[in-house]
Structure 1
Amino acid sequence: MTSPVLPLLMAGVGFCFGRWWPSGQASPQDLEGASKASTYSSITKGFETQRQRVAMSVKEVCFIGAGYVLGALTAIVLASKNSDVKFTVVDKNKNVISSWNSHHIPLFEPGLEELYFDESEQKVHADGERPRRRRLQNIAFSTAMDECIMAADMIFICVDTPLHGSFNHDMEWKGLDLTNIMAVAERIAAVSIRHQTVVLKSTVPCGMVGGVKQVLENKANTTASFDVISSPEFLAQGSAIRGLLYPNRVVIGDATQSTGAVSALKSLYKWMPADRIITVNTWSSELSKIASNAFIAQRISSINSLSAVCESSGANVHDISRVVGTEPRVGPLSLRAGFGFGGSCLYKDVCCLVYLAQELGLSEVADYWKAVVRLNDWQNERILNRIVEFLPPHQEFNTCGQVAILGLTFKKDTLDTRNSTAIGLVQGLRQSGAKVRLYDPRLRFDQIECIFGSATSEMVVAGIEDACRGCHALVIHTNWDEFADCTIPWERISSSMMEPKVLLDPWGVTSHQPMEKYGFRIMDIGIRHEWEQQWLPLQSDSIGLVSP
């Protein structure tokens, strides 16, 4: 039987050190023993009994990685709460760092600009630019990684851990790609000359703290020493600033009983109630983040599975959600039927959990979480097919009509399009022969072009009316506040569309009753309307879709 102290690090196999590898340092082959080993018990062996060697105070903190949520936003909030501590965010991407040092920060997140900038200065330069004075004087952004690492008492690793390779249900389920994590560990080891605390904030598989610890111990200068602890983030894009300012918990994972390092990290959260800081072992800390996202994904797949039952039986999924959500043991959150879960976290973390269960020989557990992902993909395919079946075939060009899609980001209040369900919807509609018109009020053309390439110019339009003109169906994919604006001329928009004028609005951005009055036919996820049964018999030509 497989030992529980087995290679859970293998949930992140495939270290390919090209992305973060610093020049003039040891080659990736130096980690061959760690990356190719069939087990990782050797990585963590002996670390459990080590003790903190240096009681430390934190004067300088370095965050490595200025990504969507982890590095920059966490550093900004901590800087706002610790004026006596210097924070530096480093990243190899010069454009990202340049943006953070400019008047135009690279992220959209509610509350961020108010926290980061002092808007009291309203002068406008001759070139039209309005200078913005940074509110926080104790935070800096830099590409000088080595210098920042050397100066720091505490180093947060906040780099991306994407799903290893492309995912396909017919292929092997894979874990997280730990390339960036291990390359950063090598970088720290190469330049450190004293005692430092390293905090793993990235989402990582179980056992990664031990893996990083071994790299640091084996590669660093003899004058260097390290405590490595875990503190995963539980933030949601779109509410990250609020989540950082008022977190419902801060988790700290410590395998070595390094009370000095834990206390030092706690000191940065001095505004937090003590009972909201949870200290556990590192394996529990690492798994808790993956488990948290997996539970959210499971709830979304559960209500989406019931939406299919409702459509086939005559029940109303909104009624089901309301009734089930009033059960105290269940609660109302994540019970809105719609597209499957998207974004960069939920999908990859469930896949990682599947891989983890497989490595532990827990095939029943792996199958359970596989079903969550498969249901999610099936839901998106099912919605695509429902839309296409109401698009009239075009005799001359053998196309299925035209669809307007409003919103490309995976959720509102973020510019993140990674694994957005809108991308699969656009691709599926185009593959079916339909034309797509796409509008997102916050994304630039070049951001969309990175996704769709040369096809972007024929899809992207400048506004809602341009998107809907001549379309047979309208999908409000992202619930941007702009789409709920009461001044939008929906009646005029409807008159510019073609029958059947289908409106799919899973988030309920619009009010259905007036939209029906304007001539839209409402399509709901989890409800079959009478008009659908009346319309389908009129579609005499098959469009070649396979039922989900």
Structure 2
Amino acid sequence: MRHIAIIGTGYVGLVSGSGISDFGHKVICADIAEEKIKMLQTGKMPIYEPGLDELVDRNTKAERLSFSTDVGKTIRDSEVIFIAVSTPQSENGEADISAVTAVAKTIGQNLNNRKVVCTKSTVPIGTGKLVTSIINENNPEKMEFDYVSNPEFLREGSAVKDFLWPDRLVIGTESEWGFEVIRDVYRPLYINETPIVHTTVETAELIKYASNAFLSLKISYINEISALCEKIGADVHVVAKAMGSDGRISPKFLHPGPGFGGSCFPKDTIALVAMAKNKNVPMRTIQAAIETNAHQKKRMVKKLQALTGDFSGLKIGILGLAFKSKTDDVRESASLEMVGSLLNAGAQVKAYDPEANTSFAEFYPQITYCKTWEEAVKDTDAVAVMTEWNEFRTIDAKTLKNLMKSPIILDTRNILSRKELQKNGFSFDNVGRPMETK
């Protein structure tokens, strides 16, 4: 059992901390946000993630996991320190690593014996050298430490599973001792023969950006194909399925929709382009994916407008506010573009999301938030399905029509039966699929 510090209790820190404690280690998750720590100490989750509350509860009861606002003491009491603070997008597109550098300074000031410092936050290439220099500058006793880059690959909505059963572990370090310590932290995964990529710090830092950018490319690519499908009468789902059956391509992330969002893909693609630009290496494909994604969100607004005409004075129901199902994260969600456009055009908006009403209200407090999808669609002139929650998949077309003022619907996730919508007289549209003829 090792004593582990996780600095930052956001999405990455909380999932990582609870997961590592589940491996049998003693973990303290530290954060300067007092309210968040108070919530966690009383068993309340600051984010919605399936299975996370059970994981945290199990390990706090076993006294392997605890929470603190005393970052310095947490560092002094630990053998391994994971930096897991937020790196939001800055004004120039690059990642803002001010929180990372602040933690590095605190680590330097509190080193009291040899430790491993490991960054899990998504950071620009070269951050490892910067963190190392900041720790050294603030380490008057010249205590020894070893630096490791260990990027996370967690999907919101399945992060617990992704952490406990990952596809691979990336450990970037020039220190053999640091590598062995981090491998020991993940010993249960090592025993289960999870592939471990042992590489340099810089390579590990780039692997994270390269992975997210490639997945973003796949999403933007299939969304562009969906637009072509609409023009020629092809079915994008059949196209994607046939493409995905090719082992060189795979079916993952070939799902058409309203455009990607969340805390990673939009931020990381822009940051990669900005980093590459600083090195005079144009990332044309990634830039195209960014532009396609922005266009796709606007295209959904135009699709709804083609069904309704002028938005002014209309009452529109929005089903789904999170950027995808199984999360309450609305950052860069396609619903932000949709709702903003509707309000600017003079429409009234009613909305429902099983988990994201509260987080969306931080952006648009003026719309009406509902407790059920039935309430959200009642007496509306049109409805847009924006998130693929399971409860929306089973919506009965006849019931939906009876609740609405006008039977008009935009299904941006292609989860409703086209046959049933046609049967019940809906005027509707979706993404990349023709009308059913059978």
Match of 2:254 in 1: 335
Is 327-336 or 475-484 further displaced after alignment? 475-484
Match of 1:476 in 2: 385
Aligned-partner Cα distance in 1 for 2:360–2:432: 30
Match of 1:77 in 2: 19
Aligned-partner Cα distance in 2 for 1:529–1:356: 44
Is the Cα contact below 8 Å between 1:324 and 1:332 reproduced in 2?
yes
- Code of the aligned partner of 2:46: P
The 5 A counterparts of 1:420-499 are 420-445=333-358, 447-453=359-365, 455-456=366-367, 459-484=368-393, 486=394, 490-499=397-406
Is the Cα contact below 8 Å between 2:335 and 2:386 reproduced in 1?
yes
Match of 1:106 in 2: 46
Aligned-partner Cα distance in 2 for 1:530–1:513: 6
Is the Cα contact below 8 Å between 1:326 and 1:332 reproduced in 2?
yes
Match of 2:181 in 1: 264
Q: 1:350 Cα deviation (Å)?
A: 0.8
Is the Cα contact below 8 Å between 1:391 and 1:402 reproduced in 2?
no
* Residues 79-98 of structure 1 deviation map (CA, whole Å, 9 limit, x = unaligned): 1112xx31100011111111
User: Compared with structure 1, are the counterparts of its residues 448 and 275 closer, same or farther at alpha carbon in structure 2 (3 Å cutoff)?
Assistant: closer
1:210 aligns with 2:153: no
* Residues 420-439 of structure 1 deviation map (CA, whole Å, 9 limit, x = unaligned): 11111110122223222111
Match of 1:381 in 2: 298
TM-score, length basis structure 2: 0.94
Aligned-partner Cα distance in 1 for 2:244–2:216: 16
The 5 A counterparts of 1:414-425 are 414-425=327-338
* Residues 146-172 of structure 1 deviation map (CA, whole Å, 9 limit, x = unaligned): 11111111100000001112xxxxxxx
Q: 1:299 aligns with which of 204, 214, 218?
A: 218
Match of 1:368 in 2: 285
Aligned-partner Cα distance in 1 for 2:243–2:341: 33
- Code of the aligned partner of 2:18: I
- Code of the aligned partner of 1:403: I
Match of 1:523 in 2: 429
Is the Cα contact below 8 Å between 1:217 and 1:225 reproduced in 2?
no
Match of 1:276 in 2: 195
1:401 aligns with 2:314: yes
User: Compared with structure 1, are the counterparts of its residues 311 and 490 closer, same or farther at alpha carbon in structure 2 (3 Å cutoff)?
Assistant: closer
Q: 1:112 Cα deviation (Å)?
A: 2.0
User: Compared with structure 1, are the counterparts of its residues 136 and 504 closer, same or farther at alpha carbon in structure 2 (3 Å cutoff)?
Assistant: farther
Match of 1:67 in 2: 10
- Code of the aligned partner of 1:112: L
Is the Cα contact below 8 Å between 1:115 and 1:135 reproduced in 2?
no
Q: What is the SS of the residue equivalent to 2:125?
A: coil
* Residues 245-280 of structure 1 deviation map (CA, whole Å, 9 limit, x = unaligned): 1111010001x3x11111011001111244611101
Is the Cα contact below 8 Å between 1:297 and 1:372 reproduced in 2?
yes
Is the Cα contact below 8 Å between 1:193 and 1:223 reproduced in 2?
no
Q: What is the SS of the residue equivalent to 1:433?
A: coil
Aligned-partner Cα distance in 1 for 2:380–2:357: 23
Q: What is the SS of the residue equivalent to 2:248?
A: coil
Identity of aligned residues (%): 30
Aligned-partner Cα distance in 2 for 1:448–1:101: 26
User: Compared with structure 1, are the counterparts of its residues 342 and 327 closer, same or farther at alpha carbon in structure 2 (3 Å cutoff)?
Assistant: same
Match of 2:63 in 1: 137
Q: What is the SS of the residue equivalent to 2:307?
A: coil
User: Compared with structure 1, are the counterparts of its residues 141 and 450 closer, same or farther at alpha carbon in structure 2 (3 Å cutoff)?
Assistant: same
Is 504-513 or 155-164 further displaced after alignment? 504-513
Match of 2:411 in 1: 505
Aligned-partner Cα distance in 2 for 1:150–1:220: 13
Give ranges in structure 1 of 5+ residues lacking alignment: 1-57, 119-132, 166-172, 532-548
Q: 1:202 Cα deviation (Å)?
A: 0.2
Aligned-partner Cα distance in 2 for 1:202–1:475: 35
Q: What is the SS of the residue equivalent to 1:213?
A: helix
Match of 1:150 in 2: 76
Aligned-partner Cα distance in 2 for 1:327–1:91: 45
- Code of the aligned partner of 2:384: V
The 5 A counterparts of 1:237-252 are 237-252=156-171
Aligned-partner Cα distance in 1 for 2:421–2:21: 47
Is 264-273 or 503-512 further displaced after alignment? 503-512
TM-score, length basis structure 1: 0.76
* Residues 480-504 of structure 1 deviation map (CA, whole Å, 9 limit, x = unaligned): 22323x5x564233123233x2322
* Residues 293-318 of structure 1 deviation map (CA, whole Å, 9 limit, x = unaligned): 00000000100111111112222212
Q: 1:223 Cα deviation (Å)?
A: 4.2
Is the Cα contact below 8 Å between 2:414 and 2:430 reproduced in 1?
no
* Residues 453-498 of structure 1 deviation map (CA, whole Å, 9 limit, x = unaligned): 3x13xx22232122112223222211222323x5x56423312323
Match of 2:146 in 1: 227
Match of 2:55 in 1: 115
What is the aligned length?
435
User: Compared with structure 1, are the counterparts of its residues 444 and 301 closer, same or farther at alpha carbon in structure 2 (3 Å cutoff)?
Assistant: closer
- Code of the aligned partner of 1:102: T
* Residues 88-126 of structure 1 deviation map (CA, whole Å, 9 limit, x = unaligned): 0001111111111113322222222333335xxxxxxxx
Aligned-partner Cα distance in 1 for 2:402–2:202: 59
Point out the structure with max Rg over C-alpha. Answer: 1
Aligned-partner Cα distance in 2 for 1:401–1:412: 27
RMSD of aligned residue pairs (Cα, Å): 2.0
1:160 aligns with 2:86: yes
Q: 1:393 Cα deviation (Å)?
A: 3.6
Aligned-partner Cα distance in 2 for 1:496–1:439: 15
- Code of the aligned partner of 2:43: H
